[in-house]
Amino acid sequence: MAQASTTLGLMFILTKLTVVSTMYLLFIQEDKNMKHRVLRLVAVGVAAVLTTFGVAVGNAVAKDKMVIAVPTFLTGGGAPAFGVPARNGTELIIQAINKGQVPAPYNTKGIAGAQVEAIIYDESGGGAKQVTEYRNKVQKLGVDMFAGFVSSGTCAAITPVAEELKTLTVYATCGTPRVFEELDKNPKYVFRTMSHATADGVALAHYVASKYPSANGYTGINQNYAWGQDSWRDFDLAMKVLAPNIKGSDKGQWPKIFAGRYGAEISALLKSPEDLVHTSFWGGDLEAFIFQGLARGLFKKKTFLMSVAGTAAYRLGKKLPAGIVLGSRGPYGIYANQLTDTPMVKWFNNAYVNRYGTQPTQPSYQYAQAILGAKFAYEKAAAANSGKWPSTDQVIAALEGATFQGVATEVRMARSNGHQGVTDHAWGVASFDKELGLPVVSEVMHFKGDCIMPPDGMDSVTWLKGGMKGAKCD
Amino acid sequence: MVQLLLGWFDLQLIFTILTDGLIYGSYLFIVAVGMTVIFGVQRVLNVTHGSFYAFGAYLAAYLGGIWYEHELPDFGGFVIIFLAAIVVGVFFGILIERGLLKHLYGKDEHIVVLATFAAFLALEGIGLFIWGTDPYFFYQPQMMLGFVEILGMTYDYYNLSLIVLALIISLSIWYFLSRTIWGRLLQAVIFDREVSQAMGVNVTAVFLGTFILGTTLGALSGAAIAPTISVLPGIGVEVVVLAFAVVVIGGMGSIPGALIGSVLVGVVRAAAIHEFPQAEMFVIYAIMAIVLVFRPEGLFAPPAVRKI
Amino acid sequence: MTTILEVNGLEKRFGGVVAAQNIGVTVSAGETIGIIGANGAGKTTFVNMVTGHLPPSAGTVKFLGTNIVGLPPRRITELGLCRSFQVPQVFLSESVFDNVLMAYGIAEESGFSMLRPLRNKERDARVRKHLASYQIAEHEETAASALSQGIRKLLDIAMATVRKPQLLMLDEPTSGISVEEKFDLMDIIMAALREEQTTVMFIEHDMEIVQRHVARVLAFSQGEIICDAPTAKAMVDPKVVEFVLGQEYHVGIRSDA
Amino acid sequence: MSADKTIIGVTIAVVLLACANFFIADWIRQIGLLSMAIGSVALGLLVLWRTGLISFGHALFYGFSAYGVALLNYLGVRDAFVLVIVSAAASGLLAWGLGFLVRRYRAIFFALLTMAFSMILYGVLAKTERFGSTDGLNVHPPTFLGYAPVDQAAQITLFLFGLLVIYGLILGVQIYLRSVLGQMTTAVRENEIRVEYLGYSVEHVIHIKYVISGLLAGFGGAIMALAVGQVDPESMAYWTASGEFVFVAILAGTGNVAAPFIGAVAFEVIRHFAWEHGANLWQLIMGGTLLAIIMFVPDGIWSVLQRLVGKKDGVK
């Protein structure tokens, strides 16, 4: 594979050289002899055609091993919180799959017999750049499928392109419900193996309604971009349905993403009358906000609902403010590490800690889950195809509407024509356990997927605004 | 109308807005002053400033991490802040000035900006190599100082001390420029480089000295802010834009301009956060655009006279 | 004789400093007028105000019957009042030919016709003819930055005259030129202008040149016109002798930068 | 004057590329499309640069037009010609409006004012939920005068369309640069006073340049929106995008109207391989390349090509 790509790269350079040299010949060279010019032109033309044909022919990829492209943040602000744990989780699970070390039901070597190569690449740079990279991975490297994507923005950008290029793409982490509700109502090639972000807000609202029924209100501080805006909207709408007596503030704070300095925002929050503060901060912004808030006693005065604090819990350690309501975007990370007792989680946690010296967080679980989804689908399709390597259509058929075991939870592909996963969710209160030397969660409530996700065919915002009809909560 | 005005007159709110504004303004000034100094003397709009900020923060957080890991005395963090600033400032000051800018003096302003932009990109890459992607924490100095309650609002001493740091920096620069021989020489060079050179001022040394000063201030800003943030890749990018804005608003190269511009932005921003949180994102660019439209030389730069 | 320029009560103050006041002058077509005065007497300020470079503090300037105070230089130029500069204002990196070609392009096209190609055979021919009449055709290919001061001055004036102005104001055409070259230079300029029958006003320090080329003199001192008379009469005017000639003559015929 | 060598050269190159379009691999075609988009913006910068003005905020027009395509799409407009022309025209209009302000400024003030405006657009786009906030908007594959190709044919057609557009742009700019108005470029850079006293408004010259430049950036943004199928504030309107355009302009040099496109290809190729062979390295590679160009080939690739054949004088 690597060799093929190098060859292709060389051919590519040759092609471009011919174009450039053509320009050079035409614009620069002052050769009075017209015949020479024409001859040279023909030569360049032939070379161009040959090299480009060579590229076109070289595109075939051998099938004895499969290639999964795994996009995640390797640079920029998203790397520490999401990219690095996601990459670690991916590397771990893929190596284990290739060696057959994953616990049952995934204890066969490889995926449907093929060894897996993961091309882990950088997701930063914005939607347009990512679409370009996606096309490259498909058209140049001929990858079999994609598993990954952290950012909602990237997923929104990739969805139509994945359909256009007819490439199996399994979203691992990105949260926006827009993917199947708006952008791609009739998906074929695109899947998502975890609940979307609406589930976070709804589950949190359930948690608040039952644990803080007498709170006098809630305000928020969210980054002023799509993720922050959506997170607040979903939580706010769900609260209006589930706890109408707890009033939301219309003076929530909207700092710019990566602002890093929150002095005035903290003053405004300290001044605000509401007891509860919702935030979907993550990564460096979250950590900076916590340090600055701690220095001013903010977390003693307010109860914080932090939907993505799971990404920072272990790193903050004893600086994790005690008593915050902490989310992990599902039963991943700290919830799995501490509370889930299955052989799968035990194995994953052990292997991860041994290899990287730190606890796995939610992106590690979510990425591994997406790849297990792929293994499940390929093997199911291969079995139906009498053991032969399945076509993409067969893999899609196998995954649509299926239920498979992820690392930390069962995933039911039960929404959006069987393309959107539904999983359980968990919320609890964080504190630091001095004896363990680790942050822990208590007061944990679990929520069933059908209770916190809109029913099939229903748009999230409509569902929330309509009073969340059809939610199945036991 | 009167009622509206009275409604606005909320002492605690006004106090909070002013304090928040001063703190943020001091932060902006500390972050921008190095860029302002370099621009004032060398007419180089230095994008690598963002890298110095980042490297200052990284080195301080790295050393601080080791320091506190060994449970050494808490105050050591403050020594580390200044130490890191000087190490980074001197090293990168010499590297960039001698290695890059020296070859570009006299070229088009744009080209120099681009060259520093290029160096900035390269340094970002080098930073990733040295420090990796994981964040560094250096919160101890911020935590150890504790907080105070004024008019029912808590403020922590560390962030309040940024106001003092901003004052110290601006007073020192003022003293240096107006009361020392070196400062006079510097002003001569700013006024007319050729004539100063002809009169025997060692312009090369002045430029190098200024650049090291600017770099050190840049690194100091990073080191001083490090205890309040999570030090991770990309923190320099944000700072470049902020510092640009301050330099533009204050008047290219004017230190008092930068100080007053910073506080202006800080207070307007704080007012927005308290009253119109949605507007926070635009405040600084809006002020920058307004200043550029009505006073393109900045608030404090003397308007240039064009000779025929 | 038709009046082409009528200046009344022109005044310029910079803060408290009076740079020019009570300036009134009437110019008829075909005249050649010399403007004399010591340095700082207000000569250039006068030219700058008339040509729109400096807004006057008070007063009117009527050119061909229109009040041109407040008009931008380009409008004044379009109306047919052109000028040259003490320090030649040319496009330094361009050749002499291209400098004058640009002048022709701007003079000859307007509005959407500005999108026509700058170069065409007819225009090239006009440029060459113009260069020839200022005797700088041999420098056609030379970049303006490489020209001697005298040739550069000629180029500056040549560019100012492509519109065949009704009135041309020259700001010290001979300053910075060596004594040997000065007279030839002035002869070239005046010959070219005579051919076009251009009305000229020029600032000059050298009284020999003034006497040689000029029929009427405006003498400036401390921002005011102290004498407006035919040349021979002006040269013996006591105020002129005291404030202008007295200072000028004893410094001799030095080149005045 | 003999037939324009540049136009002949560009014509032949465009025809060759149009033929090659049917044989090349998809990802090469994609790089070609991106190069056309970035090249158009860089061409817009070239128009300003020749007057000594650099915009650090051309992402304003690029992003404005890209979002124009996405929003028109939303209203049901699918035709590539309508999308590109209307969006680019809207960018031109925006440039016309802002031109009244920016035309008064030069040098670094001009650069910074343009940057401030582009950052305000970024703020608005990132904030407005109707425009998808930071997620941005998708752009559907376009139709071409009723022809609605799918799959590979869609890209091939788009490539041809893009070639047609940039061919038109190059011809237009070439005619402009040879005109009286266009030739005032150097004149304005060197001596504004003289231009005024020759009878033309310097601000007018700069304003027109700014509009043309904004229009070209608008075409670039529109092509990019169609080629990528996605618009978002970070890629389209952040100051780093503007920085990349200036990068391409420097890389290319201002010697010829074709140079920005050659520069854009070089840029896209460098970025392509930098990204592919080390995510952690790409900033270092880009920064290093840019530094090397500024230090060693300040006049860009075009000057290298000229030097290779020992042709010293610049193409006017």
Least Cα separation, residue D226 to chain A (angstroms): 11
Q: Please report, for residues B116, C51, C107, D116, the alpha-carbon distance to residue C7 in angstroms, rounded to integers and kept in the order given.
A: 54, 12, 26, 45
Q: Is the same domain home to C189 and C171?
A: yes
Q: pLDDT confidence of A59, banded at 50, 70, 90?
A: very low
Task: Supply the pLDDT for residue A41.
Answer: 55
Task: Supply the pLDDT for residue B89.
Answer: 94
Distance CA B242, CA B27 (A): 10
Check if D190 contacts C (Cβ < 8 Å). yes
Q: How many domains, chain B?
A: 1
Task: Supply the pLDDT for residue D29.
Answer: 87
Give the best residue of D69, D230, D301 to mutate against chain A (max A CB count within 10 A): D230
Q: Do D197 and C160 touch (CB under 8 A)?
A: yes
Closest residue by Cα to residue B196 from B37, B38, B41: B41
Q: Do C119 and D199 touch (CB under 8 A)?
A: no
- Amino acid present at B37: V
Task: Supply the pLDDT for residue B301.
Answer: 59
Q: pLDDT confidence of A7, banded at 50, 70, 90?
A: very low
Check if B230 contacts A (Cβ < 8 Å). yes
Closest residue by Cα to residue A239 from A231, A230, A248, A249: A248
Average pLDDT, chain B: 85
Contacts of A208 (CB under 8 A, 6+ apart): A215, A218, A239, A242, A243, A246, A276, A305, A325
Q: pLDDT confidence of D1, banded at 50, 70, 90?
A: very low
Enclosing domain of residue B211: 2-294
| Residues on chain D touching C83 (C-beta within 8 angstroms) | 197
Q: Do B114 and D282 touch (CB under 8 A)?
A: no
Q: Please report, for residues C90, C156, D111, the alpha-carbon distance to residue D193 in angstroms, rounded to integers and kept in the order given.
A: 9, 12, 22
Distance CA A368, CA A97 (A): 11
C251 has pLDDT over 50: no
A350 versus C177: which is more confidently predicted?
A: A350
- Asked whether the ipTM of the predicted complex exceeds the cut of 0.85, the reply is no
Task: Supply the pLDDT for residue D314.
Answer: 42
Task: Supply the pLDDT for residue A466.
Answer: 92
Chain B, nearest residue to D285 by Cα = B122
Q: pLDDT confidence of C238, banded at 50, 70, 90?
A: confident
Least Cα separation, residue B1 to chain D (angstroms): 31
Q: Is the same domain home to C178 and C255?
A: yes
Q: Where are the beta strands (DSSP E) in A268-357?
A: 276-279, 303-306, 325-327
Average pLDDT, chain D: 86
- Amino acid present at A348: F
Residue B229 main-chain phi, psi, to 5 deg:
-130, 180
Mean pLDDT score, D112-130: 82
Tokens, residue B136:
């560094």
Check if D34 contacts A (Cβ < 8 Å). yes
Give me the percent of chain D exceeding a pLDDT of 70: 96
B227 has pLDDT over 60: yes
- Give the number of other CB atoms < 10 A from CB of residue D308: 11
D233 versus B5: which is more confidently predicted?
A: D233
Least Cα separation, residue A292 to chain B (angstroms): 6
User: Per CB distance under 8 Å, which residues of C are interface residues toward B?
Assistant: 48, 53, 85-87, 89
DSSP secondary structure, D214-259, as one string: HHHHHHHHHHHHHHHSEE-HHHHHSHHHHHHHHHHHHHH-SS-TTH
- Dihedral over alpha carbons D259, D261, D263, D267 (to 10 degrees): 180
Task: Supply the pLDDT for residue A19.
Answer: 53
- Residue whose tokens read 């993409």: A392
- Residue whose tokens read 């040099």: D253
Q: Which residues of B230-253 are buried (b: 16+ CB within 10 A; e: fewer)?
A: bbbbbbbbbbbbbbbbbbbbbbbb
Mean pLDDT score, A86-95: 95
Q: Do B252 and D108 touch (CB under 8 A)?
A: yes
Distance CA D31, CA D270 (A): 11
Q: According to the per-residue pLDDT averaged within each range, which of A349-353, A384-388, C182-186 is highest?
A: A349-353
| Residues on chain A touching B18 (C-beta within 8 angstroms) | none
Q: pLDDT confidence of B3, banded at 50, 70, 90?
A: low
Q: Is the same domain home to C157 and C171?
A: no
Task: Supply the pLDDT for residue A187.
Answer: 92
HSE-up (13 A, CA, CB side) for residue A291: 29
Mean pLDDT score, A429-437: 92
D164 has pLDDT over 90: yes
Check if C93 contacts D (Cβ < 8 Å). yes
| Antiparallel, parallel or unpaired: β A403-405 and A410-415 | antiparallel
Three-state DSSP class for A345?
Answer: helix
Q: Is the same domain home to C169 and C250?
A: yes
In this structure, whether the domain defined by A198-329+425-465 belongs to CATH 3.40.50.2300 is answered with yes
Q: pLDDT confidence of C60, banded at 50, 70, 90?
A: confident
Distance CA B265, CA B286 (A): 10
Task: Supply the pLDDT for residue A243.
Answer: 93
Q: Residue A75: in which H helix or E strand, if any?
A: none
| Residues on chain B touching C48 (C-beta within 8 angstroms) | 308
DSSP secondary structure, C153-185, as one string: HHHHHHHHTTT--SEEEES-TTTT--HHHHHHH
Chain A, nearest residue to D140 by Cα = A160
Mean pLDDT score, D144-173: 89
Chains that touch D (3 or more CB pairs under 8 A): A, B, C
Q: How many domains, chain C?
A: 2
- Dihedral over alpha carbons D141, D146, D150, D152 (to 10 degrees): -90
D217 has pLDDT over 60: yes
Tokens, residue A450:
């059908």
Distance CA D110, CA C160 (A): 30
Task: Name the least confident of B229-233, C38-42, D212-216.
Answer: C38-42
Q: Is the same domain home to C129 and C208?
A: no
Q: Do A23 and D258 touch (CB under 8 A)?
A: yes
B163 has pLDDT over 90: yes
| Residues on chain A touching D229 (C-beta within 8 angstroms) | 131, 157, 160-161, 164
Chain B residues 231-270 with CB within 8 Å of chain A: 232-235, 237-238, 269-270
Enclosing domain of residue C122: 90-163
Which of C72, C77, C117 is closest, CB to CB, to D198? C77
Which of D56, D101, D119 is closest, CB to CB, to B285? D119
Three-state DSSP class for A306?
Answer: strand
Q: Which residues of A242-254 are buried (b: 16+ CB within 10 A; e: fewer)?
A: bbeebbbbebbbb
Chain C, nearest residue to B307 by Cα = C87
pLDDT digits (tens, 9 = 90+) for A205-244: 999 999 999 999 999 999 988 889 899 999 999 999 999 9
Write down the pTM of the prediction.
0.84
Residue A168 main-chain phi, psi, to 5 deg:
-60, 125
Give me the percent of chain D exceeding a pLDDT of 90: 30
A418 has pLDDT over 60: yes
Q: How many residues does chain A have?
A: 474
D304 has pLDDT over 70: yes
Q: According to the per-residue pLDDT averaged within each range, which of A128-137, A138-147, C67-76, C148-157 is highest?
A: A138-147
Closest residue by Cα to residue A50 from A60, A62, A42: A42
Distance CA A95, CA A371 (A): 12
Chains A and D make contact, 3+ CB pairs within 8 Å: yes
Q: Do D28 and A12 touch (CB under 8 A)?
A: yes
Closest residue by Cα to residue A150 from A168, A176, A183, A182: A176
Give the best residue of B305, B307, B308 to mutate against chain C (max C CB count within 10 A): B308
C100 versus B3: which is more confidently predicted?
A: C100
Least Cα separation, residue A181 to chain D (angstroms): 14
Chains C and B make contact, 3+ CB pairs within 8 Å: yes
Average pLDDT, chain C: 82
D170 has pLDDT over 50: yes
Distance CA D287, CA D270 (A): 11
D228 has pLDDT over 90: no
Tokens, residue B209:
């000295």
Mean pLDDT score, B187-216: 84
Q: Please report, for residues A80, A86, A89, A364, the alpha-carbon distance to residue A361 in angstroms, rounded to integers and kept in the order given.
A: 11, 8, 9, 6
Least Cα separation, residue C85 to chain D (angstroms): 9
Which of D1, D176, D190 is closest, CB to CB, to C115? D176
Three-state DSSP class for D149?
Answer: coil
Q: Do B281 and D123 touch (CB under 8 A)?
A: yes
In a domain? residue B304: no
Give me the percent of chain B exceeding a pLDDT of 70: 93
Q: Where are the domains of chain A?
A: 2-57, 65-195+340-422, 198-329+425-465
B115 versus D315: which is more confidently predicted?
A: B115
User: Per CB distance under 8 Å, which residues of B are interface residues toward C?
Assistant: 308
A40 has pLDDT over 80: no
Tokens, residue B147:
């907080």
Q: Is the same domain home to C117 and C152?
A: yes
Task: Supply the pLDDT for residue C96.
Answer: 86
| Residues on chain D touching B293 (C-beta within 8 angstroms) | 101, 113
Task: Supply the pLDDT for residue C95.
Answer: 86
C253 has pLDDT over 50: no
Task: Supply the pLDDT for residue D308.
Answer: 74
Q: Where is the domain boundary, C163, C178, C194?
A: C163
| Residues on chain D touching B118 (C-beta within 8 angstroms) | 286-291, 294
User: First vs last Cα of chain C: how many Å apart?
Assistant: 36
Chain D, nearest residue to A2 by Cα = D277
Angle at B286 between CA B281 and CA B289, to 5 degrees: 145
D83 has pLDDT over 90: yes
Task: Name the least confident of A329-333, A419-423, C221-225.
Answer: C221-225
Tokens, residue A34:
């017209």
Chains C and A make contact, 3+ CB pairs within 8 Å: no
In a domain? residue B96: yes
- Give the number of other CB atoms < 10 A from CB of residue D304: 14
Give me the percent of chain C exceeding a pLDDT of 70: 95
Task: Supply the pLDDT for residue C114.
Answer: 81
Q: pLDDT confidence of A327, banded at 50, 70, 90?
A: very high
C16 has pLDDT over 60: yes
Check if B161 contacts A (Cβ < 8 Å). no
CATH code reported for the domain at A65-195+340-422: 3.40.50.2300
Q: Where is the domain boundary, C163, C179, C209?
A: C163
Task: Supply the pLDDT for residue A368.
Answer: 95
In a domain? residue C85: no
Distance CA C220, CA B104 (A): 48
B196 versus B2: which is more confidently predicted?
A: B196
Least Cα separation, residue A346 to chain D (angstroms): 32
Angle between helices D259-276 and D26-49 (to 10 degrees): 130
- Helical segments of chain C, H only: 43-50, 73-79, 96-108, 121-133, 149-160, 179-196, 207-213, 231-236, 238-240, 246-250
Mean pLDDT score, D127-154: 83
Three-state DSSP class for C220?
Answer: strand
pLDDT digits (tens, 9 = 90+) for A236-278: 999 999 999 999 998 889 888 888 889 999 999 998 999 999 9
B184 has pLDDT over 60: yes
Least Cα separation, residue A310 to chain B (angstroms): 16
D280 has pLDDT over 60: yes
Three-state DSSP class for A225?
Answer: coil
- Helical segments of B100-156, H only: 109-131, 140-144
Q: Residue D232's beta-bridge partner residues? A: none
pLDDT digits (tens, 9 = 90+) for D98-117: 999 888 887 777 887 888 88
